[in-house]
Structure 1
Amino acid sequence: MLAHKWDDNVYCVMDIETTGVDPLNGDRIVEIAIVPVYKGKIVKDWIYSSLVNPKVYIHAYAQKVHRISNSDVEGAPELDEIVSVVRKYSQGTILVFHNATFDLTFLDYAAKEVGQLPLEVDYIDTLDIAVAIYGRRRKLESLAKELKTSHRVTHRAIDDAHVTAEVFIKLYERYGWGLVHEFLKRWMGREY
């Protein structure tokens, strides 16, 4: 199978880890990673990864998933710095997520909490692509195994962003710009 030619967009693949699954009830971001992809290659010099001080308690069940403790995030950057970094990375790029609504909703809450407007970004969700190709939702672990990525899902932001980046690259090369860009969406903040 021939690999499809890449366009000139920079794709910033993003993943977050959180204190729980419900930002409406106070769960917040504890880790974020951004892995830029250009012309089918991960741009190592542009990678961003940071723990985040959520200013709320990290539940024990969340700590079991991502192994990030309350003491780990004590001196980490706070939400205002993280939202600023995300805004910089999203300027003139297309963000890529696996299950974008989850990450973008948490980022909206982070922006709101620090007194900023929600993000307005262009994005692609590899989960949407998987549903179109396979006819059902697929976990990132499942796609990574099938597509033979070199990284494994660990529920740490940098590892999972790398996995998502590799999945995105393989999907792009297999199906091309035409299919991938059918899934290009615009996020303009979530209605609460």
Structure 2
Amino acid sequence: MRRRRAGEDRAMTSIARIVDYETTGTPEDADPEVIEMGSIDVNLTSRLLVHQSAFQSLCRPRGPIPAVTKAVHHIWEEDVQHAPPARDLWDRLLAGAPSWLVAHNAKFEMHFTPPWGIPWIDTYKVARIVWPDAPTHSNQGLRYWLELPCDRKLSEPAHRALPDAYVTAHLFIRLLDHKTPEEMAKISEYPALLKRMNFGKYRRNGIDMTFERCAQDDPGYLEWIRDTSDMDEDTKFTARYWLQKRNK
């Protein structure tokens, strides 16, 4: 008989709610707003989508929708003029107290979601651990690379809330073959662990360098990234991780 992994008893009766938002901008922009939200549940007992749980709604923002974001999701002011504001929809989106909230690059969704006391899972970060050599770790890129069984009618158009949540749900189900929800949530607490150094001197010289190899061949460069550079948190975290591994 197969031995259950830690946390698996809880997963037998829990629901993971996969969420996705379209917005007027990124968290770094001035006062970005949610203009569409979508969600769909995964039953962790059966590892199947709960199609009747699917939820999608446009949301009326206070301000205009910038052209640069319209070019991504193609949502216009006229589409949302009669929609409820996002603040009136959180109770509906988060109803039923799911055990987990799941998103691809969950830092984005977490910025907009009110504190609800539900742990988050970031499928982007987990996918980087499970499939470090994937040619891309974008939502749609993993969909095609893994040949996920997504219904084309339900997964398109891309960059809309419910279709993107639907694709992430399939990705999450595939990740369950490799990690428990508890393990995924733990991974999601940290910055993403990167594989290749597609920047800086190695990119200029056309060298395919990994962080792991750099830690052995050029640790001073990783120390500079960790201690002095203004690179993003994922890059600095990965440099710190491999330097610690090297020094053990």
Give the TM interval when normalised to the shorter protein: 0.7 to 0.9
In our comparison, the structure showing a higher alpha carbon Rg is 2
Matched with 1:103 is: 109
Does 1:125 find its partner at 2:122? Answer: yes
Does 1:175 find its partner at 2:178? Answer: yes
Matched with 2:31 is: 26
Post-superposition Cα deviations, 1:106-163, rounded to whole Å, max 9, x if no partner, equal 224xxxxxxxxx3321121101111212337711111111121223561000100000
Cα distance in 1 between the residues matched to 2:171 and 2:48: 12
Preserved CA contact (<8 Å) 1:153 1:163:
no
| 1:100–1:183 Cα change, 3 Å | same
Cα distance in 1 between the residues matched to 2:93 and 2:184: 21
Q: Given residue 77 of structure 1, which amino acid in structure 2 is its aligned partner? A: P
Cα distance in 2 between the residues matched to 1:133 and 1:175: 7
Quote the sequence identity (%).
Answer: 27
| 1:152–1:143 Cα change, 3 Å | farther
Cα distance in 2 between the residues matched to 1:24 and 1:48: 27
Preserved CA contact (<8 Å) 1:31 1:50:
yes
Q: For 2:82, what is the secondary structure of its paired residue? A: coil
Preserved CA contact (<8 Å) 2:98 2:118:
no
Cα distance in 1 between the residues matched to 2:163 and 2:32: 22
Higher relative contact order (CA 8 A, sep 6+): 1
Cα distance in 1 between the residues matched to 2:157 and 2:175: 17
In the TM superposition, residue 184 of structure 1 has moved relative to its aligned partner by: 1.7
Preserved CA contact (<8 Å) 1:32 1:52:
yes
Q: Which runs of 4+ in 1 moved over 4 A?
A: none
Give TM-score scaled by structure 2 length: 0.63
Q: What CA RMSD, in Å, does the superposition of the two structures yield over aligned residues?
A: 2.4
Q: Given residue 108 of structure 2, which amino acid in structure 1 is its aligned partner? A: F
Cα distance in 1 between the residues matched to 2:100 and 2:27: 25
Q: How does 1:50-89 map to 2 (within 5 A)?
A: 50-89=57-96
Deviates further, 66-75 or 14-23: 14-23
Q: Given residue 122 of structure 2, which amino acid in structure 1 is its aligned partner? A: D
Does 1:156 find its partner at 2:153? Answer: no
Cα distance in 2 between the residues matched to 1:159 and 1:62: 17
Preserved CA contact (<8 Å) 1:57 1:70:
yes
In the TM superposition, residue 54 of structure 1 has moved relative to its aligned partner by: 1.5
Q: For 1:45, what is the secondary structure of its paired residue? A: strand
Preserved CA contact (<8 Å) 2:23 2:33:
yes
Q: Structure 1 regions of 5+ residues with no counterpart?
A: 109-117, 188-192
